[in-house]
Amino acid sequence: MLLQGDSYEAIRSAFRWHVPEHFNIGTACCDRWADGSGRLALLHIRPEGGRDRISFDTLKAESNRLANTLVAHGIRSGDRVAVLLPQVPEAAIAHLAIYKLGGIAVPLFQLFQEQALEYRLRDCEAVAMITDTVGLAKLPGLALPALRLILSTDGVGEGALDLRLEMARASDSFTPHETVADDPAVIIYTSGTTGAPKGALHAHRVLLGHLPGVEMPQDLFPQPGDLFWTPADWAWIGGLFDVLLPSLYHGVPVLAHRMAKFDPEFAFHLMAENDVRNVFLPPTALKMLRLVPNPSRFGARPRSIGSGGETLGGELLDWARGTFGCTINEFYGQTECNLVISSCAALMPARPGWMGRAVPGHEVAVLDVAGHVLPPGQQGTIAIRRPDPVMFLGYWNKPEATAAKFMGDWLLTGDQGEQDEEGWFRFLGRDDDVITSAGYRIGPGEIEDCLTAHPAVAMAAVIGLPDPLRTEAVTAVVVPAPGITADGALARALQDHVKTRLAAHVYPRVLHFTDALPLTATGKVMRGELRRRYTRGEG
């Protein structure tokens, strides 16, 4: 599965998928490295500062014990088991155990409140849950008729058994279920920026499908001495399948740390202190890091940085080169079909405003409304052709929604973009994010990049609001940088900043200041919420 070659073209032309008939994420990410050598798998930095070095040998033994524990309590192949834990070793052990027994893991974000948890647990009919006291506190009063087993990492609680005590009674020997590559393995719920969240059901092969899309933005990962970290929670596809599981598959250790709230100064310290070599940083985290004064004092020097979810601008790329000594590689994908486009500084120079090229093994195109592939330079919907090992099996219990996601053999991302003559893709915005103003179709990403390049701006989001003359008015919602006074003079200066650097027809005719932008749990700006808020006059 490794990408090999001295150019993108050579790697892409030589690439072939090798997906075996039988494949299990749990054994592939753990057992094959558990050879008694004590090879490091997880470097756990505890909240109080202590550290635990956990080997693949330990991961195998502990995941086998947990698999035996779950089977002893009646959990069988195909059963859904929820994992409601932060970035801790028990979360990794839980996933490996569930995959080994042929169950379906359902990662859940620990910051979800009762309503969000109840919806997801009822929707997938989870029969078991592995959590801690934080998760347990949210369960009383929830109507969960299918849930019959709760294991807590913090000991006995209301309705919960002590995970460690139950595992201590179990054997560390376990015969994994012989899963085929297309057997269901995990349900990851979409972030739900519009409509109710949907459970994207993925097969065991999804891990193999992710590997080229991890190797490329991490500058031909893995390399000797690599150590991977992300602040993204392992409950999301970005933390779980962009970092944790691919790293373990390659035998590369992962740094685990429970960060209740992203602290940019501590993130610099964490990377430097532990010699982190590979990082996935969501754009929101990068923008917060950029506000830290004199970042070179920490000494963080990762070998590679990947980022995805929002378009990065040239100013942020330049800042990262000066701060870290490496180029941020952008990548693109969705919960349903992840990591299909990427840049790679080791193979080709970065192009600000452009995400990258199709990751080897994936066929990506831009389609018109009729489903025809558009030529370079024309805007349309970004789509991925099936079959593809990284593509989901479908939405859990939602066949109509699954069918609507496709047009023929093309999975429609719902994102607007364009492709140039060299195969680079540019993200313009979600279908409902693209602004129609005075006959122009305007993507918000380029305007947001321009605004955040201004020293007075910490973060910015651009939306379209109803306008009787222009159909929609380009509207910017700006979080000022610390110490900056938000007033009419600043608003005019920012409008001129965009007008003189981009174009007169895209500058924000309306500009609002706010203390914070509404974000999904994965750090993406909720433009739909901003549109509702400012349409109702609640901004």
Tell me the per-residue pLDDT of 363-417, one tens digit each, with 9 for 90 and over. 999 999 999 999 999 999 999 999 999 999 999 999 999 999 999 999 999 999 9
User: Confidence class of residue 170 from pLDDT cuts 50, 70 and 90?
Assistant: very high
283 and 355 Cβ atoms separated by less than 8 Å? no
The one-letter amino acid at 172: D
Average pLDDT value for residue range 512-523: 86
The one-letter amino acid at 74: G
Which residues partner with 255 through β-bridges? 43
Instruction: Give the predicted TM-score (pTM) of the model.
Output: 0.86
**The pairing of beta strand 471-480 with beta strand 457-467:** antiparallel
User: Confidence class of residue 194 from pLDDT cuts 50, 70 and 90?
Assistant: very low
User: Confidence class of residue 520 from pLDDT cuts 50, 70 and 90?
Assistant: confident
| pLDDT, greater one: 3 or 406 | 406
**Domains (range + CATH), the chain:** 1-19+206-362 (3.40.50.12780), 23-204 (3.40.50.12780), 433-535 (3.30.300.30)
% of the chain surpassing 70 pLDDT: 97
Q: Tokens 């719920």 sit at which residue?
A: 189
Task: Report the mean per-residue pLDDT for the chain.
Answer: 93
Helices 444-452 and 314-324 meet at what angle, rounded to 10?
Answer: 50
The DSSP call for residue 224 is: T
Report pLDDT for 4.
Answer: 72
Sign of CA dihedral 181, 187, 192, 196: positive
User: Confidence class of residue 192 from pLDDT cuts 50, 70 and 90?
Assistant: very low
User: Confidence class of residue 193 from pLDDT cuts 50, 70 and 90?
Assistant: very low
Q: From 155, 152, 99, select the one nearest 130 (Cα to Cα).
A: 152
User: Confidence class of residue 3 from pLDDT cuts 50, 70 and 90?
Assistant: low
% of the chain surpassing 90 pLDDT: 80
User: Confidence class of residue 1 from pLDDT cuts 50, 70 and 90?
Assistant: low
Tell me the per-residue pLDDT of 53-63, one tens digit each, with 9 for 90 and over. 999 999 999 99
